[in-house]
Homo-oligomer: A and B are copies of this chain.
Amino acid sequence: MGAKGLTIGVFDSGFGGLTVLRELLPLVAGAHCVYLGDTARLPYGSKSRETIVRYALSSARFLQQRGAQLLVVACNTATALALDELRAALTIPVVGVIQPGAEAAAAACREQETGDREQEKMAGVLVLATQATIESHAYARACAALGLKATEKACPLLVPLVEEGWICEETPAVGGSANDAARASVTAQVLRIYLGEALRDAPESRALLLGCTHYPLLRPEIERTLAELGRPLRVIDSAQATARVVARILSENGGARGGLTGVGEATCEFFATDSVRKFERLGSRFLGRPVGEVQLVDLGG
């Protein structure tokens, strides 16, 4: 590992947060990243606030015990419903995915300003996320604080479709059937339904914010569907925005916190609360490279 740098804890209910880690790794040379997927209790996105807070706290405490000096809540649902509780309970800085996502969306919308005051009043961002994230209205609040109107759309079927690999970009599995195209067409049809409904409700949207860490895997398909619907909105990825915020915090506070060594690739360690084999198999799809060995941890759920 070379000179031991800062330890960053990253957690999600499952694999989705690996899209945040994927964006983060190139920006935090010398850091050690400990990732926890709370797969025994996933998904968080369809559960209640009380349950999500309880799960998020136990996941976060585990990472702090593993030496995390900064925590990334790489899960939109946990950020939406448990960020305040996590900040109150932990003694380390906690970064969620919603504020960075909202800021990136606001910047994208500002770039498209027309100068027409009436048009500007109506302009806004369309946010896609899980049921629990949408019901929390956390994105709407974060956007409103930045002067941006958000229209929120729950898309509960996208996570299972991504986890099953019913996506175009998926490399066909060995022995993959002729049904791969049919499978991808199901996802395309689901996206047409969700995006069609959302754009009818928010005709003035200028950007589309991916408010779930699973959705970056659907980005090409989402962009294709937007084009088909004649509404080629700019797509904003909370995962990218969050990684940039973490890197900025670390570079600003590096000295004070022990900092990044800036030397060598960031290293990773992976934990999951359910089957590590499944994590090893699915995780690589989200991380963009093999996750390697995953360790099983029991959080008592």
Which residues does A use to contact B, with CB under 8 Å? 39-41, 46-48, 51, 156-157, 160-161, 163-164, 166, 177, 179, 182-183, 185-186, 189-190, 192-193, 196-197, 273-275, 278, 300-301
Contacts and interface: CB of A to CB of B under 8 A. Distances in A.
A47 B40 contact: yes
B183 A193 contact: yes
A186 B189 contact: yes
29 contacts: A40-B41, A40-B47, A40-B51, A46-B163, A46-B278, A47-B274, A47-B275, A48-B274, A48-B278, A156-B160, A156-B163, A156-B164, A157-B157, A157-B160, A157-B166, A160-B160, A177-B197, A179-B196, A179-B197, A182-B189, A182-B192, A182-B193, A183-B193, A186-B186, A186-B190, A186-B193, A189-B189, A300-B300, A301-B301
A122 to B, nearest CB: 23
A157 B157 CA distance: 9
B48 A275 contact: yes
Nearest to A192: B182
Give this chain's copy count.
2
A139 B143 CA distance: 51
Contacts of A185: 189
Nearest to A301: B301
Given A157-B160, A186-B190, A300-B300, A47 B39 contact: yes
A141 B116 CA distance: 70
Contacts of A275: 47-48, 51
Nearest to A160: B160
